[in-house]
Amino acid sequence: MRARHPNVMSRTAVAIGVALALAGCSTVGIKTSPGASSEKEARNVKPDDPLARPVQVGWTSARASHCGFIFNPGQLRSTYLAAEARTGIPPQQMQKIEHAYDYTRQSTLDTIKDNPGYCNKERTAAIRADLNRYLAGDYTPAARMAR
């Protein structure tokens, strides 16, 4: 039997952890998880909300993935979480941030997956602006409704 590369094993462990975390989340009914379960919630987060950034970045990642933007969603997640960790956030708060990001991304994907008209010209322009900002390392919360 061939030994696996350490990165393959760690990616598998991360994928299992995310899957287990998301298994407890529901995108229908009563919201029991931090994060946005609807596009309206993601658009209307308050910049002073401590979970504004993970909701915004997760929401944008989901929308960009759905609309066919070419980027690495896993890398965006990693880079964003590393930036949050560098600010000295306690581990317990980091867990909430990770969960809010993952929950928002997945619930957004679940919500928009069956909407063929979602990626209109105005919305993709708004997604592009936010995605480019996040890929450049600027995670300032600045949600706005796509015009």
Per-residue model confidence as pLDDT tens digits over 88-131: 999 999 999 999 999 999 999 999 999 999 999 999 999 999 99
Question: What mean pLDDT is predicted for residues 129-144?
Answer: 86
Tallying the residues shown for the chain, one arrives at 147
pLDDT at 139 exceeding the cut of 70: yes
| Cα distance between residue 45 and residue 51, in whole Å | 8
For 24-36, what is each residue's pLDDT tens digit?
A: 333 333 344 456 5
| Cα distance between residue 23 and residue 35, in whole Å | 15
**Contacts with 43 (C-beta within 8 Å, 6 or more apart), sequence order:** 59, 143, 144, 145
For 63-84, what is each residue's pLDDT tens digit?
A: 999 999 999 999 999 999 999 9
Which of the pair, 73 or 52, is modelled with greater confidence? 73
If you average pLDDT over every residue of the chain, what do you get?
A: 76
Which of the pair, 59 or 18, is modelled with greater confidence? 59
Q: Where are the domains of the chain?
A: 6-135
| Cα distance between residue 90 and residue 51, in whole Å | 14
